[in-house]
Structure formats: C-alpha cells, structure tokens
C-alpha cells in the first residue's frame, strides 16, 4: 500500500505576527466597506431557489445533534474536538453512573469556522481537512453552518462555497443549505433556528421572509432553539455604550414579530469558552466557542449575573484557571516571536528620527540626549508626525468603551514604548561610541547601533506589550481578547451535544477536553486516512455540564 499523503497540520494562529496583523486589518477594513454596501445575503437569496426548513422530525429513538463553534485554528485543538465528536459513542460519567452519548446525526457549526481570515485554502486546510480525517471510515453527519465575524471578512465568499453548495458537501458529508441561515425541524416539536447577523448588522429582508415562512409551519406547542453569531447577553454587559451589542432588539423582534413565542435555548460561540446562563423560567443562554480557537478568559469579565435575571450556572475553564493562565503574558516574546519584527521597526524608526540631529557631545549625558530628542520631536515635522501616528495607533488599540480611558490608556502605553525606544537608542549609541570606540556618525557606528536598536527593540517592545496586556486584564478586566489571543492557548476545548429523547425531552451535554494532544499518528480506518493521538499527557473528553431543558409555557 502506498504511504498516505502528508497532511499539513497548522500551528495556532499567531495574532501578533505582523503579516497576520496587516492581512487581518486589511480584510476587516474591506469587509466593513463592502459587507455593508453589498450584502452577500441578498445576492444569495436572489441567485438561489427558495430555501425550505430541513426536516428531521421523523427520526425514531433518541435524536442526537452536535454543536461546535470557533473551529479551524490550530490542528491540535481543531482535530482533538473533531476526533472526539466523531466517535460513534462517547461514555461520560454523570454523578455515580455513566451515560452513553452518540455522535450527532446533524453537525451544526455555530460561527467562526476558520481563522485568522477566510479563504478557500484556509477553510480547506484548517477546518475541512481535520473533519474529513476525523470522520474517516465512519457515518458522516449532515452539516449545517452559520457565519461568525471571521467568516464575513471576505464578504462570505469562501463560507458560501464551503457550506452552501449542496452538490459539493463538506468533508465527505452532506450539506443542504443554500443560504447563510437555516431552520431545522427536530423531533419532539423542537425547532433549531440559526440566524446570520452579518457583521453586527440586522436581519436582511429575505432572511426575515424565510423565518416568517418557517414560523407558519409551527404549531402552538413548538419550542425553539436559536443559534446566534455572538453572545450579546455577555457583550452588552461588558460594553454598555456599544449599541450593536444590544441583545434585546433582534431577539425581541424574532420572538414577538416572527415566532410569537419565547426562545427556550440560545446557542452561540464567538467567545472561546463555555458559559451557561439561566433565568427562573429555565431559559438557557449558552456560550460555547471552544471548537479550536485560542482560549478566551472566563474571569474577565466575570459574569455571575447578567441583565434580565440571567444567572451563571456553569463555566469552563473555571475563573481560577483562567486567572492563572493570564500570567503567561510574561512569556509574550516567546509565545509570539514574530511580534518582535513590529517593535524592531517601531523602535528603530523612533530612535532614527530622534537621533538625526544629535551632536556627538550629547551622547554621553542621558539628560542632554533626552533634551535633544524632545527638541527634535518638536522642531522636526517628520519626527513629530511619526510620534503622533504612533500615539494615535496605541489609542486606537486600547480596549475600553469610555473615551477618556481610551486616550489615557493609549497615551500611557505609547509613552512606555517611546521611552523604551529612547533608552534602547541611547544604549546603542553608548555601546558603539564608548564601548566599541567607533567614530560617532561613521557608517559603521550607525549600522552597528541600528542593529543593536533593532534587537533590543524587538525584545523590549514585546515585553512591554506583554506587561501592558497583563496589567490591563488583571487590574482593569480589559483587553480580554488581546491578552488571551496573545497566549495562543490550544487547551480547554469543548463542544455541545444535544439529545432529544422519544418523549421530546431535550438534554444538553457540554463536553470538554482539558489538554489536547500535541502529537498524532497517521493511520488507516475503513480505507481512509485518519489520525490517532500519540501523546500520553493529553486528556480524554469529559462531561463539564449537563442540563435538561424544561418544557416552556
Ligand atoms: Fe471566534
């Protein structure tokens, strides 16, 4: 037998790699312009046949469905979840007993199916390939998906190709949807509705019409599970002045104007952890974004109580673990080695502009050198413009919903880097002129001092960013996204498994993997290539939460 072809196993996305930063910035900017001015959802609705609901209501026995969100980052995390989910049965200890769960007949992707930005190739390598190998030689589920913000960064082109072309399928399994939203009619009079809100925008007209026609198929006792692209119930608390995070508007519109009933269960990803909130009526709001992407902190913000009477019932990983992990920001330069290039450039440019008018005599004395640098910043327009751009960039980066704090925080952060850039430049001068006794202003001295600035700048800049992120999340509960994307944590992954029993009762299992395997062995199963974990330290999938959803009124 010939050897199986080599499969590319990607590392976790390096969000501070200058190439990723530039590419993401560019894609987000373009998506914000074109996504809002030419809505792909409308084009799809015009180009395809009307979409009906998809009917699974006649399945006999227990009906199983898997829900996974925020997939398609590193291989280890994405594959670990896919492989656990693809096992025909998974035994989970519940209390003293063991419960057998079954792989879903349907697999729903809840948003952000690929990182860092969508393209044909990234979906193929980071998402579809792991799922194809995980399901090798096994019964493949029917696949449905809604887009998250990362899927929208190319205005949904690659997402549509991957999930909305039934003739193509996904990872060897079948797909049916032709739009970026769908409705599933499930057994026990349950309905799973999945909506697409684009980049925080509202529902488009054809989508509203679609769900109106779905609502007409429901009888009075029908119960709803609503999949949404982001947990606005958490975001609206963290960013109270941010109008796009107001949860109530879309939900209330759907509940009151379209479906004429309350939603029983909300499912979402977007934040890469597991949190379940519940109100006194037993309505569930579940955030489950552990399908593969880097871990988000569960402690910042801490969310024991939300608006409208929702209280936290389960969280994974726990806040203590999350707080402990934030210390890893001190390892920032080692976890994000490529970020050094950014700071090398920033520091070298700053030192270059500041030193352009320095006289030889200034070099010796720190205070004189500092005075000369300040003078240069004021008198040299190019230098001044550079500093304004740098400070502006850091203000833009600062994460807070209060403008004053944004300016103060950004200026403080920029000030730390500029002060460090000055010190690095000064040390480089001292080292070359006094230490190496090179002639001040000679080509050799300038080159060597430039090189020293680049190296020291890369190290100092990365450390200061790590420190800034640590202080931000630790003391102010801010930059939860940046402070944890920097850590590239592939562990603490999870997904949801839903069961509807023949009585129509819904049980939701949250299944987690504390530590994903780092090494894999390629094998063959049913004539297809697959991978088995080859890492003794990896942990097995375990039950992290279980809830029985009571019947609504
Ligand atoms: Fe995400």
Model pLDDT for residues 189-235, shown as the tens digit of each residue:
999 999 998 877 788 899 999 999 999 999 999 999 999 999 999 98
- Picking from 261-275, 343-357, 517-531, which range would have the lowest pLDDT averaged per residue? 343-357
- Cα 70 to ligand 1 centroid, rounded to whole Å: 5
Select from 315, 390, 381, 299 the least CA-distant residue to 349: 390
Rounded mean pLDDT, 426-438: 90
Chain centroid, CA 87 distance in Å = 25
**pLDDT tens-digit map of 414-425:** 999 999 999 999
**pLDDT tens-digit map of 50-107:** 889 999 999 889 999 999 999 999 999 999 999 999 999 999 987 788 899 999 999 9
Give yes or no for residue 186 having a pLDDT over 60. yes
Q: Would you place residue 158 in the very low, low, confident or very high pLDDT band (cuts 50, 70, 90)?
A: very high
- Cα 536 to ligand 1 centroid, rounded to whole Å: 29
- Cα 353 to ligand 1 centroid, rounded to whole Å: 39
Select from 396, 226, 399 the least CA-distant residue to 297: 399
- Cα 116 to ligand 1 centroid, rounded to whole Å: 9
3-class SS of residue 511: strand
- Cα 68 to ligand 1 centroid, rounded to whole Å: 11
- Cα 298 to ligand 1 centroid, rounded to whole Å: 14
- Cα 112 to ligand 1 centroid, rounded to whole Å: 5
Give yes or no for residue 29 having a pLDDT over 60. yes
Chain centroid, CA 151 distance in Å = 11
- Cα 429 to ligand 1 centroid, rounded to whole Å: 45
- Cα 275 to ligand 1 centroid, rounded to whole Å: 15
- Cα 481 to ligand 1 centroid, rounded to whole Å: 10
- Cα 541 to ligand 1 centroid, rounded to whole Å: 21
- Cα 528 to ligand 1 centroid, rounded to whole Å: 30
Give yes or no for residue 42 having a pLDDT over 80. no
Rounded mean pLDDT, 391-412: 87
Q: Rounded mean pLDDT of the chain?
A: 90
- pLDDT value at residue 477: 87
- Cα 269 to ligand 1 centroid, rounded to whole Å: 7
- Cα 281 to ligand 1 centroid, rounded to whole Å: 29
- Cα 289 to ligand 1 centroid, rounded to whole Å: 7
- Cα 343 to ligand 1 centroid, rounded to whole Å: 26
d(CA 182, CA 117): 23
- Cα 263 to ligand 1 centroid, rounded to whole Å: 24
- pLDDT value at residue 388: 93
Q: Would you place residue 23 in the very low, low, confident or very high pLDDT band (cuts 50, 70, 90)?
A: confident
Share of the chain above pLDDT 70, in %: 95
Give yes or no for residue 32 having a pLDDT over 50. yes
Burial class from Cβ neighbours inside 10 Å (0-12, 13-18, 19+) for residue 78 reads: buried
Instruction: Please report how many Cα atoms fall inside a 13 Å half-sphere around the Cα of residue 258, on the Cβ side.
Output: 23
- Picking from 247-251, 444-448, 537-541, which range would have the lowest pLDDT averaged per residue? 247-251
Specify the length of the chain in residues. 553
- Cα 80 to ligand 1 centroid, rounded to whole Å: 17
Rounded mean pLDDT, 254-273: 95
- Cα 137 to ligand 1 centroid, rounded to whole Å: 30
In this structure, are residues 119 and 72 in contact, taking their beta carbons and an 8 Å threshold? Answer: no
Cis peptide before 193 (omega within 30 of 0): no
What residues sit around ligand 1, an ion, with C-beta below 5 angstroms?
70, 112
- Picking from 437-441, 493-497, 499-503, which range would have the lowest pLDDT averaged per residue? 437-441
- pLDDT value at residue 164: 93
- Cα 538 to ligand 1 centroid, rounded to whole Å: 24
Q: CB neighbours of 13 closer than 8 A, spacing ≥ 6?
A: 20, 73, 74, 115, 116, 294, 488
Give yes or no for residue 459 having a pLDDT over 70. yes
- pLDDT value at residue 201: 72
In this structure, are residues 549 and 499 in contact, taking their beta carbons and an 8 Å threshold? Answer: no
- Cα 197 to ligand 1 centroid, rounded to whole Å: 15
- Cα 296 to ligand 1 centroid, rounded to whole Å: 9
Q: Which residue has the tokens 């829900």?
A: 67
- Picking from 210-214, 270-274, 405-409, 528-532, which range would have the lowest pLDDT averaged per residue? 405-409
- Cα 452 to ligand 1 centroid, rounded to whole Å: 38
d(CA 140, CA 150): 25
Q: Would you place residue 455 in the very low, low, confident or very high pLDDT band (cuts 50, 70, 90)?
A: very high
**pLDDT tens-digit map of 535-552:** 999 999 999 999 999 765
Q: Measured between alpha carbons, how far apart are the two ends of the chain, in Å?
A: 60
- Cα 500 to ligand 1 centroid, rounded to whole Å: 28
- Cα 270 to ligand 1 centroid, rounded to whole Å: 4
- pLDDT value at residue 108: 98
- pLDDT value at residue 95: 75
- Cα 252 to ligand 1 centroid, rounded to whole Å: 25
- Cα 230 to ligand 1 centroid, rounded to whole Å: 9
- Cα 509 to ligand 1 centroid, rounded to whole Å: 21
Q: Would you place residue 1 in the very low, low, confident or very high pLDDT band (cuts 50, 70, 90)?
A: very low
- pLDDT value at residue 91: 94
- Cα 82 to ligand 1 centroid, rounded to whole Å: 17
Rounded mean pLDDT, 239-256: 74
- Cα 272 to ligand 1 centroid, rounded to whole Å: 6
- Cα 385 to ligand 1 centroid, rounded to whole Å: 36
- Cα 83 to ligand 1 centroid, rounded to whole Å: 20
Spell out where 118-253 has E strands. Answer: 142-145, 182-185, 190-194, 223-227
- pLDDT value at residue 347: 93
pTM over 0.85: yes
- Cα 477 to ligand 1 centroid, rounded to whole Å: 19
- Cα 271 to ligand 1 centroid, rounded to whole Å: 6
């Amino acid at each position: 037998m010939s050897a199986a072809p080599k499969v590319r196993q990607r590392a976790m996305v390096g969000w501070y790699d200058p190439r990723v930063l530039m590419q993401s910035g560019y894609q987000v900017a373009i998506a914000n312009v074109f996504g809002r001015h030419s809505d792909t959802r409308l084009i799809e609705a015009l180009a395809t046949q009307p979409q009906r609901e998809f009917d699974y209501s006649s399945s006999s026995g227990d009906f199983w469905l898997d829900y996974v969100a925020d997939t398609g980052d590193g291989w280890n995390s994405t594959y670990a979840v896919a492989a656990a989910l693809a096992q025909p049965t998974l035994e989970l200890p519940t209390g003293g007993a063991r419960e057998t769960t079954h792989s879903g007949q349907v697999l729903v992707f809840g948003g952000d199916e690929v990182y860092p930005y969508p393209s044909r190739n990234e979906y193929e390598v980071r998402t579809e390939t792991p799922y194809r190998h995980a399901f090798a030689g096994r019964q493949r589920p029917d696949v449905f998906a809604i887009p998250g913000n990362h899927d929208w960064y190319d205005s949904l082109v690659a997402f549509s190709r991957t999930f909305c072309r039934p003739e193509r399928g996904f990872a060897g399994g079948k797909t049916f949807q032709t739009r970026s939203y769908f409705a599933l009619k499930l057994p026990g009079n349950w309905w799973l509705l999945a909506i697409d809100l684009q980049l925080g925008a509202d529902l488009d007209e054809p989508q509203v019409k679609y769900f109106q026609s779905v609502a007409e198929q429901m009888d009075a006792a029908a119960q709803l599970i609503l999949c949404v692209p982001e947990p606005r119930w958490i975001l609206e608390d963290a960013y109270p002045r941010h109008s796009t995070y107001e949860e109530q508007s879309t939900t209330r519109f759907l509940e009151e104007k379209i479906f004429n009933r309350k939603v029983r269960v909300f499912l979402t990803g977007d934040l890469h952890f597991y949190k379940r909130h519940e109100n006194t009526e037993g309505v569930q709001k579940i955030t489950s974004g552990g399908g593969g992407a880097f871990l988000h902190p569960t402690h910042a913000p801490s969310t024991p109580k939300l608006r409208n009477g929702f209280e936290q019932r389960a969280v994974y990983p726990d806040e203590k673990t999350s707080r402990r992990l934030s210390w890893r920001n001190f390892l920032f330069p080692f976890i994000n080695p490529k970020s050094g290039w950014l700071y090398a450039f920033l520091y070298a440019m700053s030192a270059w502009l500041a030193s352009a008018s320095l006289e030889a005599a200034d070099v010796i004395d720190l205070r004189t050198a500092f005075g000369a640098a300040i003078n240069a910043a004021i008198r040299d327009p190019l230098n001044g413009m550079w500093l304004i751009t740098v400070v502006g960039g850091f203000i833009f980066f600062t994460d807070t919903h209060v403008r004053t704090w944004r300016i103060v925080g950004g200026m403080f952060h920029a000030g730390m880097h500029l002060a460090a850039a000055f010190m690095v430049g000064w040390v480089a001068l001292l080292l070359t002129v006094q230490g190496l006794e090179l002639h001040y202003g000679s080509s050799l001295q300038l080159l060597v001092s430039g090189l020293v600035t680049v190296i020291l700048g890369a190290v100092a800049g990365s450390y200061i960013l790590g420190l800034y992120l640590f202080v931000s999340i630790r003391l102010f509960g801010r930059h939860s996204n940046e402070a944890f994307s920097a850590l590239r944590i592939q562990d603490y992954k999870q997904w949801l498994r839903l069961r509807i029993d023949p009585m129509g009762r819904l049980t939701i299992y949250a299944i987690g993997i504390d530590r994903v395997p780092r090494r894999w062995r390629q094998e063959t199963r049913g004539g297809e290539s697959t991978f088995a974990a080859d890492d003794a330290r990896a942990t097995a999938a375990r039950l992290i939460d279980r809830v029985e959803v009571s019947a609504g009124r």
